[in-house]
Every structure is written in C-alpha cells, then in structure tokens.
Amino acid sequence: MDTNNSNAFSGLTIVAFSWAMVGPLTMKFFADYGATVIRVETSHRPCVTRTSAPYKGGEAGLNRSGYFNHFASNELSLSLNMGHPAGQAVARELIARADVVMENFTPGVMDRWGLGYEELRKIKPDIIMLRQNGFGLDGPYKNLAAFGMILAAIAGMPNFIGWPDRGPLPMGVGAYTDCISPRLASAALIAALDYRDRTGKGQLLDLAQFETALYFILPGVLDYAVNGREPERRGNADPYAAPHGVYPCEDDNSWCTIAVLDDAQWQRLCGILGKPECSRDSRFDTAVHRKQNEREADELVTAWTRQHTAQEVMESLQAAGIPAGVVESSAEIYADPQLRGRNAFWPLQHDEMGVFTHLGASFEMSKTRAQAYRPSPCLGEHNEYILTKILGKSDDEFVELLTSGALE
C-alpha cells in the first residue's frame, strides 16, 4: 500500500465522494502524484460507472466494468453505508484526518448527510472542500441531476458542431463536459492547498460544471455579447483557409484531415497531388481564391486521397510540412505510437479484469512523474486497510463494523 513518498502530493489525504467520470478524472491528478485518495462508495447505490457496460467477458459485476476501471487507478475504495450511523461516524473520522473533501453529487446529498462545508469545518477547521456539482451550490438549477451530455447542451456546445443545412450535433459519445471541469477544479484545488500551507486556512470551492464548460466556448459567447451573432454550423470549413477539411481515403469509412494554411503549403500540396500546374492556377493561387473556389479545390484533393490510406496521406503531407492527420478511431487511438510513447495508457493487472488498460498520464513531467501505483479498486477493497491502518481501529472494532452493515 506504500505510495512513492517523494511525489508532489505525497502525504496528502483526500476523501472523495466521487461519482461517474468527473470525480475520478479530478482525483486522478492527485492520486497519480502520490496523494492518498479514498473514494467513498456504497453497494446500495453503486456508482453509475460500476453498473455500465462494457464488462469483462460480457459478464456484469460491480468490479467488472471497463468504464469504471478505466478511470480509477490509484484510488482506494471504502464502501460505506451513509444511511447507517456507524458509517457516518467512520466518514467523520476520516474527514478529521483529511486535507481535502471532494464531492460531485447534486448538492443536497452531502447536505442531507450533515456534511456541508460548515459541518466539515467543525470536524476539521482547516478542511478544503471542493464541491464540483453540475450547476453549483445555488441558483434555480442547483438540484437538477445533470450529466456530461446534457450539460454540454445547456452550455450551448452543439451549436458549434454540424453542417449548415442540418441541425446541431453532440460531440462524440456526448459527455464532453466531463473532460472540462476536472482540470479547472484541480487547478483551483491545488491553489487552495497552497493557500492553506501559507495561511493555515481551509476553504470552500464551489465549481459548477455548467460554468466551466462556458470557458470552452467563450469566444462564441463573446461573439454574441458583442456582435449579436449566434453560432453558425460550418462543417469543417475554416473562414480563411482552404482546403481545410476531412477527406475520404482508400479504405471504407477511413478519413484524413488536411489543412492548407498558406500559399507555400498549397504549392507543395499540388506537387504531391501530381498537379503542379494548379499551384499557379488563378483559381487557387491565394487563400482568398482557394476559399472562393473551395469546392473545386476539395475535389482535387479528394481525387487523390481516395487512392491512398489515411496513414499515407498523413505521412506524405507531413513530410512536406502540410498539416494533415489520420481521423483516428478508438482502435487507432489505442495503438497510437505518439500517445503510447507518452505514458498515456497504463496496462495494469486487476483482480477481476486481468491485464486491463487504465487511463494514464495527461502530460509529462521531468521530475514528478504520474505513477501507476495500483489498479482501479474493487468496491470496498481497501476497507480493512483504511479502518485499521489509517483510522487505527483494532481487528475487533473492524469486524464489528463489518457485521453491523456500516461497510456496505
């Protein structure tokens, strides 16, 4: 159970009432750099990710979800029945020893357990509490149970995705905002730790996932506020550059991106297309002309990309200094040599999953590296460790808790 005691967050303890994807993604920045992150869960209402497919071997089980297990490496799991007085008591004992409490339910859940910020301060005066709810602690939507896909909608994001002649589209599989709030929350939380170390004071952080999503479309919001302009869907076109798009390649449903950002890139592209004469063609010689004749330029490009694989397109254009890439499927991302070389995936041995790929580092650091200390936890896997080693309970006390139902 030892963690590297020289990492950036070694010695830090976080009690995480963590739910779905936002919770573990936020906690990952701390757990991967040495913090002890105790995830408080319950078998009475297991995390939605524990009960979501895909499962190992197609067989459902609380410890068998690929979804849950992809995101939760380095966390310790404590199963706790918060409806049981002894379960509540354990939570309070843990909080008394913690630096940070985080939660991302709807706000009422923690309040009903008597674990709002004011109560936590009575347990631990310098506690830092991160409340990362969908809509924040106040306002008319505060109790709306939100998740990433509908938060992206209310934050207006699909307005920026799609074709001029069709309606708005969701980003990918939908839960886009789940990838936005965790980084902003982590930054705010590290700042709060720094402030506590300097002043001795804890604090409450109220971060609404809805609000942080707006930072990712801020130029679009300002375009409305300043110019009164609602977003237009424009496919993959760029207002100033052409060709700029997604093009079909040789294999079925295989695509590449190409973006010609200046005239020199266009001239080199014409050479690759086997149409050197097009570089001097007055329809295409400047960005303005290429934009005016974008459809014809796209046809020239498409005629060539259809005869090549996406990988070939990427390699030959990149060799000529032209931005281009494979439109990578999940299988291609999984095998991507660039990501593989950057600690992005962690194959870890898990009791029920076997060797299973956990999400790895999000970036590289030269001195304090993100570490795969342990695989994602099975539900309640660390109950005994947490109660006896962290809280110092005797074996008898632990068994008593176990039989009381407080650890379900």
Partner 1 sequence: MDLTNENGFLCGKILADLGVDVIKIERPGGDPSRKVGPFCEGADGPDASLTWFAYNCDKRGITLDIESREGRQIFEQLVKSADIVIETFRPGYLDSLGLGFAGLSRIKPGIVLTSITPFGQTGPYRDYEACDLVLMGMAGELYLTGDSDRPPVTMSLPQAGLHAGADAAVGTMIAYRHRRKTGEGQHVDVALQQSAAWFLGQVIPIWELEKTVLQRVGTFRSGSIGGGIQRQVWPCKDGFVFFFMIGGQQGAKTGRQLVKWMQDEGAYDSFLMTFEWETFDMATVTQETIDKLSRPILEFFQSHTKKEVLNAAMSRNISICPLFSMQDIVTDPHLGQRRFWTELPNPALHKAVLYPRQFARSSENDLASRMRAPRVGEHNAEVYAELGLSPNDLGKLTKAGVI
Give strand pairing partners of 346: 358
178 catalytic residue (yes or no): yes
Minimal distance in Å, beta carbon 19 to partner 1?
10
Q: Judged by CB, which is closer to partner 1: 233, or 289?
A: 233
Q: Residue 222 is encoded by which pair of tokens?
A: 């300002």
Minimal distance in Å, beta carbon 375 to partner 1?
13
Q: Which of residues 199-238 bind partner 1 (CB under 8 A)?
A: 201-208, 210-212, 214-227, 229-236, 238
Strands 13-17 and 255-259: unpaired
Q: Which of residues 68-97 bind partner 1 (CB under 8 A)?
A: 69-71
How far CA 32 is from CA of 102, 162, 285, 371, 406, in Å, comes to 16, 37, 51, 5, 29
Give the one residue of 40, 98, 300, 359 binding partner 1; rule: CB under 8 A.
Answer: 359
Binding window for partner 1 (CB under 8 A); candidates: 79-87, 253-261, 278-286, 388-396: 253-261
Work out the number of other CB atoms within 10 angstroms of the CB of residue 388: 14
Q: Which of residues 264-303 bind partner 1 (CB under 8 A)?
A: none
Of the candidates 128, 78, 131, the residue with the CA atom closest to the CA atom of residue 107: 131
Minimal distance in Å, beta carbon 31 to partner 1?
12
All residues at 6 or more sequence positions from 187 whose CB lies less than 8 Å from its CB, including other chains? none
Minimal distance in Å, beta carbon 280 to partner 1?
23
All residues at 6 or more sequence positions from 52 whose CB lies less than 8 Å from its CB, including other chains? 65, 67, 68
67 binds partner 1 (CB under 8 A): yes
Binding window for partner 1 (CB under 8 A); candidates: 96-104, 275-283, 318-326, 400-408: 318-326
Minimal distance in Å, beta carbon 68 to partner 1?
9
329 binds partner 1 (CB under 8 A): yes
Of the candidates 311, 301, 237, the residue with the CA atom closest to the CA atom of residue 272: 301
Q: Is the backbone peptide bond immediately before 54 cis, with ω within 30 degrees of 0?
A: yes
The residue type of 63 is N
Q: Which of residues 140-199 bind partner 1 (CB under 8 A)?
A: 140-141, 143-147, 149-163, 166-176, 178-180, 183-188, 190-195, 197
Q: Which of residues 107-126 bind partner 1 (CB under 8 A)?
A: 117
Task: Indicate the helix (H) or strand (E) that contains 68.
Answer: helix 66-71
Out of 32, 99, 178, 298, the active site residue is 178
The catalytic residue positions are 178
